[in-house]
Structure 1
């Protein structure tokens, strides 16, 4: 698109998805779901991998940490790469890279090789996640609706719930190598659909090539890596004062500050991520909400499988199956969120969703090893309704004031905010769980779930800054 005017974003459901948009979204969902499920399936397999590869817990943890770090490094590159080669070509390349990494992971012969191949996978996933959102919005002509966002983000919501179930099934009957081999046929179908259904968007011959902001990338990539690495190490003995926590956190924060000051200066020079767009109320408030939403939602996601496995003694498979009610609630929420946003607006729906998610987490803060499974299943169903709704309104309004040329940068801003928020939330409850274990496992999990509830309630603050229903109905 060459028009640089700001387009109004429809956050309701009055506008149905056209066949072209539905086809593009289908290709994006099928192509991206493997990467989303993979990140959660592998998490529950760490013990199996430790035993099978004759490794240690500290070493095998890098199977997930390396994946996460590579992913946050790739996110800032996405906008530049898309403008240079086109979204469809970049999407195809990312899927090929991911499936190659998956096949190599399945062939890994020791812990070091698996960690290296997971880094390759993580870099590809860092391209895939923001591209799903950007290409979906572009296919809709730069206009977003609750229905569009709910459809695109469906794998992102169901992945953390269905991943443990699928991972448990695989580990129960098959080798751990199938955690990665299962990606191959899914990605193959995704590649075929991408070639047939995604619109061609290759830059026209003679179009000036966007120059990579190498200085910005060399500031932002290690900044995000340091912050996420520091947060990942936060549960180690020594807490925030531990050198492996404090050094990367301080270094990452300092680099992020330098990058932000540099990127926020007026001028037309390219920036790897345009943080100036955060001055727009729609994107700035949505990014803040997505940061807290990532912290709130994944804090609970981190604790729930551990609760069932460590406190209640469930197997990996049974723990995954017990989380199914949350997935059902999340799926049901996506069938109604568009109507709710149309009627009440993004702000009240987001606030209500956080309150529902917080209230449904409280039963786990009061639960013990013998609490009724039916009570917890009901709580998970309600929690699924909350978490299934909370991401849609801010993602739908995020692009409202953004010019078409800024869509990739808006996506990167929201993805970075949510990813860092996710690491923050997991780190907080991991520290709480670790520090409270001296009082017994039951007290530790109860305390950690109270922390998860508190994080969810705190997320209400930025949610109040989202545009009102009246503002959403005005053309900008």
Structure 2
């Protein structure tokens, strides 16, 4: 008797929530890396006997890697599919982490951080595209709120973990800690993420890529310290890219999508809010370490109320935009955030009670939680599967350029403010060795710098007012 083969039942497609949680795990790896490195900058400067201006390239190199690779994401999604591209991004990030842990000097570390940036630059927008597709173009606030888990968990445990690893083990472990997380996330992604449906392959806009990637790199390098020539070159190349993107049949990034009021408003809100928030986060540890004399681990713990407020509010606010017009939520956040910054800078003296400073930054965190992810959810809602990659990639580019720009501007303002008050200090790494008598002047420099943070956050209110502020019978963009 001949046996009859019975075809195996097809495996059920994973639920959208399961897909989002896989993306969350891998996003957590990226957020952990960012927070750990920020808190360890002072330790790396002492380890490599390098000035702060050189050590900053450990962060800058990563951002430049992001800026270089993000523009090809939309094309790569269509060419290779989200799952294959996502797995490649995980591999690049883990490989970069291993190499960073094996770096032999500061410049080899910077080079390997660029490789990490390539992986991170693909992970975040591709992961968001996967979640948007899983949402099916409907209510995406609930799923996108899950993506707020890494910004909640990472900043809570990252600085404390980084301080412990630097103090008790070695700086190398702040990078090697990514390896087990990346391996677990890669295995889950390979098994659980759905295979892409067949899609028409677009040609890569090589001219657009030749214009945009150098534009971003030149602009960021010029703002960080490369000079006005590089910044001007970046601006010219950027303008040429805009013309190309608006006239090409298949542009690298479909800027025409940003003619939609909702998406353009989300982009403007993200630009100002991200520049202010991440710029402030780059200098806040220096206040506690330089002015107040705290170590890295204590600095990380002092930031817990802010990141906790940001993460919890982000969860609640991103869910609310499925039921409440997003313009109301985001606009309120754009008012609360600068109010918190003003409360902080008024009290950021050389001997202010820590509980007051933490409370003020928690207010800022509430405002940021109501702004960043809710604006993204509002801007991308209702987009088709074909439009989602281009829109999420565009928003990611805007946010990363804003992060780099904000970090450069806020850091430059802080350096200038310190030099104005202490002319013999030419670089912030010298401030670590100043006597306690210099603390009031240093505190005043930080207060002056945070006025710029408050101004940038307040500027995010204007585009936020163009997000939908009334209930609509349909959710069309």
TM-score in terms of structure 2 length? 0.88
Which aligned pairs between 1:88-107 and structure 2 lie closer than 5 A? 88-107=83-102
Q: Which residue of 1 aligns with 2:231?
A: 249
Q: Which residue of 2 aligns with 1:467?
A: 468
Q: Which residue of 2 aligns with 1:164?
A: 159
C-alpha separation in 2, matches of 1:401 and 1:142: 5
C-alpha separation in 2, matches of 1:354 and 1:158: 23
Which aligned pairs between 1:267-278 and structure 2 lie closer than 5 A? 269-278=249-258
Deviation at 1:429, TM superposition (A): 2.1
Aligned residue among 69, 77, 80 for 2:72? 77
Which aligned pairs between 1:281-320 and structure 2 lie closer than 5 A? 281-320=261-300
Q: Which residue of 2 aligns with 1:48?
A: 43
Instruction: Tell me if structure 2 keeps the 8 A contact 1:137–1:144.
Output: no
Which aligned pairs between 1:42-441 and structure 2 lie closer than 5 A? 42-156=37-151, 159-160=154-155, 162-201=157-196, 204=198, 208-233=200-225, 244-265=226-247, 269-338=249-318, 340-342=320-322, 344-367=324-347, 368-400=349-381, 402-437=383-418, 438-439=420-421, 440-441=441-442
C-alpha separation in 2, matches of 1:19 and 1:363: 46
**Structure 1 residues 220, 370: CA separation in 2 closer, same or farther (over 3 Å shift)?**
same
**Structure 1 residues 231, 23: CA separation in 2 closer, same or farther (over 3 Å shift)?**
same
C-alpha separation in 2, matches of 1:119 and 1:99: 13
- Aligned-CA RMSD value: 2.0
Select between 85-94 and 400-409 the one with higher mean Cα deviation: 400-409
C-alpha separation in 2, matches of 1:395 and 1:144: 13
Q: Which runs of 5+ in 2 are unaligned?
A: 1-12, 422-440
SS in 2 for 1:452: helix
Point out 4+ residue stretches in structure 1 off by more than 6 angstroms.
none
Instruction: Tell me if structure 2 keeps the 8 A contact 1:40–1:159.
Output: yes
C-alpha separation in 2, matches of 1:48 and 1:344: 45
Over residues 151-198 of structure 1, what are the superposed CA-to-partner deviations in whole Å (9 max), with x where a residue is unaligned?
124324554554323322221222001001100000011011102221
Q: Which runs of 5+ in 1 are unaligned?
A: 1-17, 234-243
Q: Which residue of 2 aligns with 1:14?
A: none
Instruction: Tell me if structure 2 keeps the 8 A contact 1:281–1:467.
Output: no
SS in 2 for 1:404: coil
C-alpha separation in 2, matches of 1:448 and 1:458: 16
SS in 2 for 1:469: coil
Select between 222-231 and 325-334 the one with higher mean Cα deviation: 325-334
Q: Which residue of 1 aligns with 2:456?
A: 455
Select between 48-57 and 65-74 the one with higher mean Cα deviation: 48-57
Q: Which residue of 2 aligns with 1:446?
A: 447
Instruction: Tell me if structure 2 keeps the 8 A contact 1:134–1:411.
Output: yes
Which is bigger in relative contact order (C-alpha 8 A, separation at least 6)?
Answer: 1
Aligned length, in residue pairs? 444
Deviation at 1:457, TM superposition (A): 1.1
C-alpha separation in 1, matches of 2:193 and 2:255: 28
C-alpha separation in 2, matches of 1:167 and 1:214: 40
TM-score in terms of structure 1 length? 0.88
Deviation at 1:409, TM superposition (A): 0.6
Over residues 364-413 of structure 1, what are the superposed CA-to-partner deviations in whole Å (9 max), with x where a residue is unaligned?
21121211111122223222222122112211121235332111110111
C-alpha separation in 2, matches of 1:337 and 1:472: 21
**Structure 1 residues 214, 156: CA separation in 2 closer, same or farther (over 3 Å shift)?**
farther
SS in 1 for 2:15: helix
